[in-house]
Amino acid sequence: MTRKPASLIPDLSRRQVLGGLAALSATSFGPVTAWASANGKQLNVRLYSEADDFDPIDASGLIDEMLYNCIYRKLIQFKPGDEWGHQLDLAETIEQVDPLKIAFTIKTGQMWSNGFGEITAEDVKFSMERIIDPAMKSRNKADLGPFTHVEVTGTHSGIIHLEKPFAPIWTIALPYITGNVVCKKAVEAAGGRINTAMPPTVSGPYRVVEQRPGERWVLERNPDFGGTPADFDRVDLIMIVDESAAEIAKEAGDVNFTAIGPGSVARVQAKPPAGTELRVHPALFYVWIGLNIEHPKFTDPRVRQAIQHAIDVPSIVEASYYNVAEPSTGIIAPGLIGHRKASLIPPQADYAKARALLTEAGIDRLEITLNVLNNVIFTTAAQVLQATMVQAGIDLKIEVHESGSFWTLGVASDGDRWKTVELVMKRFSMTPDPFYATAWFTTAEIGNWNWERFSNAEFDALHEAAMIETDSAKRDTMYQRMQDLMEESGGYRFITHGVTPNLYDTSIIPATRPDGIPLVQYFRAA
């Protein structure tokens, strides 16, 4: 009888070995997971792009503003909620004393970090005047309109002077990018522009502790902040370009707040991930299909009208926005001054009418090209149009462009492409004042951002007049008329304002503008 040699390894079945390995791997990953999540009271917010720098003078839009909201203060800020409005921030009081003057006082004892002292009216003056200084070449100068200067009347008080009345001062200039107050002393010491690796000083609820280019900005609670202390020890503003990747990161627990694509709304609503909430906000941006009015194919207004009638807006909204969004009536969204209740041409296509208009113009079949961005929303819309416009006798060719090529299609300084451009589907971002929307469609913008090459003297005059009109009812009528003129030109078919679906943890109480843009500085823990 042979005896099995003694072994240090006990006899184990295959099942026992596998079970042991599984237990071992679970144990080994336990500490890793615990170590990774032991990061205190932290908020991770996803941004779709990266902020440029810390200077509002060079800010390129919303993403920079989200960072500034956390680290700087303004006289007034957008009020979180479902209706547009503002609330006091640095200002103790602020009022329009006459159409050309706004008097303000700022709260006392509000400090700059890193020993730069108290925030004063001089800082407000410096911050606003440097943006309109021609030598500074700020691309945000237009947001301040006819602003001329700030008269400092005391350490904590001053008067904002305007050359002409300017209604958007309350909706764009003060609560948005140009309203950020920077520290005069620190900026002057930095050579006039804040292009340092870290901001020399901040005043908002958070301060920047680390910048990881291409990845995230790490913020921490600012101990020198003079308002209600921030609720989180640390806030990470994380750059995730792709919406699907952001959604996965949210599901994995790596971000607490993110916007998701409209295509995901139905799925999330049907089966919401545990501990998350979805809120769909009506957005402000506007999507439209524009025709190059000067193109030889479109000189006959009946051809332009035929195309307007051949575009079925509900089909596009259904296919590209999964019926989450609504068809729009113009470039100004509901809730804003100038919003139209209805467009002149109904959103539904009228193929018979389109065909009749073409026949009247002596055209049997029309071949046209639609240019779109290489984004699934736009390419889907283009395919829908291609399939449906045939019913009106229109053959649509689709040209898809990457962003660098697309955004210069109609720009005259980029060669002769604007001459051959026919139809373009575009989306513009928007601020809560109609002035910001109509500014791109004036005659002066032809060859710049007015790719439809729409020129109308009444429109131009109304744009100027509405900018300085302070009576809201009158402004409302003026902006509605301007959109009528755009539509009557045959150069525009308005599609939608879209939506902003935000997915977030129930452990946080997010604060957003009515259009769903996060106001991270006001986020709280639940």
Partner 1 sequence: MLKYIAQRLALAVCIVLVATSALYAVMVSLPGDPTTVLLGPRSTPEMRADFRAQMGLDEPLPMQIVNLWGRLLSGDLGTDYARNRSVASAISAALPHTVALVFGAISWSATLGILLGAFSADQRGGWLDRITGVLSVGLLAAPSFVVALYSLLIFGVTLRWFPTIGAGETGSLGSRIWHLVLPSFAIGISWVGYVARIVRASMLETLGESYIRTARAFGLPRRVVIYNYALRVAILPAVQVLGVGIGGMLSSAVFAEIVFSRPGLGSLIYESVSGRNYPVVMGAMFVAIAFFVACTLIADLVNIALDPRQRNRG
Query: Per CB under 8 A, which of residues 255..314 are in contact with partner 1?
Result: 255
Query: Should residue 419 be labelled a site residue for partner 1 when binding is judged by CB under 8 A?
Result: no
Tokens 């009271």 found at: 41
Q: Site for partner 1 (CB under 8 A): which residue of 9, 15, 413, 473? A: 413
Query: Should residue 433 be labelled a site residue for partner 1 when binding is judged by CB under 8 A?
Result: no
Stretch that binds partner 1, among 147-155, 234-242, 262-270, 343-351 (CB under 8 A): 234-242
**CB of 89 or CB of 236, closer to partner 1:** 236
The candidate with the shortest Cα–Cα distance to 279, out of 112, 515, 101, is 515
Q: Site for partner 1 (CB under 8 A): which residue of 6, 8, 34, 36? A: 36
User: What three-state secondary structure class fits 239?
Assistant: strand
Query: Should residue 133 be labelled a site residue for partner 1 when binding is judged by CB under 8 A?
Result: no
Report the alpha-carbon angle 325-519-499, nearest 5.
5
Stretch that binds partner 1, among 83-91, 227-235, 406-414, 507-515 (CB under 8 A): 406-414
Nearest-angstrom CA–CA distance, 349 and 331: 19
The candidate with the shortest Cα–Cα distance to 365, out of 303, 428, 292, 436, is 303
Q: Site for partner 1 (CB under 8 A): which residue of 2, 13, 27, 33? A: 33
> To the nearest whole angstrom, how small is the minimum distance from the Cβ of residue 445 to partner 1?
9
Query: Per CB under 8 A, which of residues 177..196 are in contact with partner 1?
Result: 193, 195
> To the nearest whole angstrom, how small is the minimum distance from the Cβ of residue 329 to partner 1?
23
**CB of 108 or CB of 196, closer to partner 1:** 196
| DSSP H or E run through 123 | helix 121-132
The candidate with the shortest Cα–Cα distance to 487, out of 304, 284, 327, 300, is 304
* Beta-bridge partners for 500: 281
Q: To the nearest 5 percent, what fractions of the chain are helix, strand and coil?
A: 35, 25, 40
> To the nearest whole angstrom, how small is the minimum distance from the Cβ of residue 55 to partner 1?
8
Structure tokens at 154: 């005391």
**CB of 393 or CB of 447, closer to partner 1:** 447
Q: Site for partner 1 (CB under 8 A): which residue of 241, 352, 376, 465? A: 241
Query: Should residue 448 be labelled a site residue for partner 1 when binding is judged by CB under 8 A?
Result: yes
**CB of 347 or CB of 432, closer to partner 1:** 432
Q: Site for partner 1 (CB under 8 A): which residue of 249, 278, 361, 509? A: 249
**CB of 49 or CB of 391, closer to partner 1:** 49
| DSSP H or E run through 283 | none
**CB of 211 or CB of 308, closer to partner 1:** 211
Judged by CB under 8 A, the number of residues near partner 1 is 54
Structure tokens at 51: 């902020």
Q: Site for partner 1 (CB under 8 A): which residue of 29, 87, 367, 458? A: 29
> To the nearest whole angstrom, how small is the minimum distance from the Cβ of residue 141 to partner 1?
8
**CB of 4 or CB of 137, closer to partner 1:** 137
Report yes or no: 69 and 167 within 8 Å, Cβ to Cβ.
no
Query: Should residue 243 be labelled a site residue for partner 1 when binding is judged by CB under 8 A?
Result: no
Q: Site for partner 1 (CB under 8 A): which residue of 100, 142, 152, 278? A: 142
Q: Site for partner 1 (CB under 8 A): which residue of 87, 93, 95, 139? A: 139
Query: Should residue 215 be labelled a site residue for partner 1 when binding is judged by CB under 8 A?
Result: yes
> To the nearest whole angstrom, how small is the minimum distance from the Cβ of residue 253 to partner 1?
7
- Walk across the sheet containing 234-239 and list its strands: 206-212, 216-221, 234-239, 42-47, 257-259, 499-505, 276-282
Q: Site for partner 1 (CB under 8 A): which residue of 155, 269, 359, 403? A: 403
Strands (E), 361-466: 366-373, 394-401, 423-428
Q: Site for partner 1 (CB under 8 A): which residue of 67, 202, 238, 289? A: 238
Kindly provide the b/e burial profile for residues 212-223, where b requires at least 16 CB atoms within 10 angstroms of the residue's own CB: eeeebbbbbbbe
Residue 296 φ/ψ, nearest 5 degrees: -50, -30
Stretch that binds partner 1, among 123-131, 326-334, 402-410, 456-464 (CB under 8 A): 402-410
Q: Site for partner 1 (CB under 8 A): which residue of 210, 395, 458, 464? A: 210
Query: Should residue 350 be labelled a site residue for partner 1 when binding is judged by CB under 8 A?
Result: no
Nearest-angstrom CA–CA distance, 217 and 174: 25
- In the DSSP assignment, the letter for residue 369 is E
**CB of 212 or CB of 365, closer to partner 1:** 212
Task: Provide the terminal-to-terminal Cα distance of the chain, rounded to the nearest Å.
Answer: 73
> To the nearest whole angstrom, how small is the minimum distance from the Cβ of residue 413 to partner 1?
6
Nearest-angstrom CA–CA distance, 373 and 381: 11
* Beta-bridge partners for 505: 276
Nearest-angstrom CA–CA distance, 311 and 328: 13
**CB of 118 or CB of 233, closer to partner 1:** 233
Kindly provide the b/e burial profile for residues 142-175, where b requires at least 16 CB atoms within 10 angstroms of the residue's own CB: ebbbebeebebeeebbbbbebeebbbbbbbbbbb
Residues 490, 491, 495, 496: is their CA dihedral positive or negative? Answer: negative
**Which residues sit at the interface with partner 1, rule CB under 8 A?**
29, 32-33, 35-36, 50, 52-53, 58, 60-61, 137, 139-143, 193, 195, 210, 212-216, 238-242, 245, 248-249, 251-255, 402-408, 411, 413-415, 417, 428, 440, 448-449
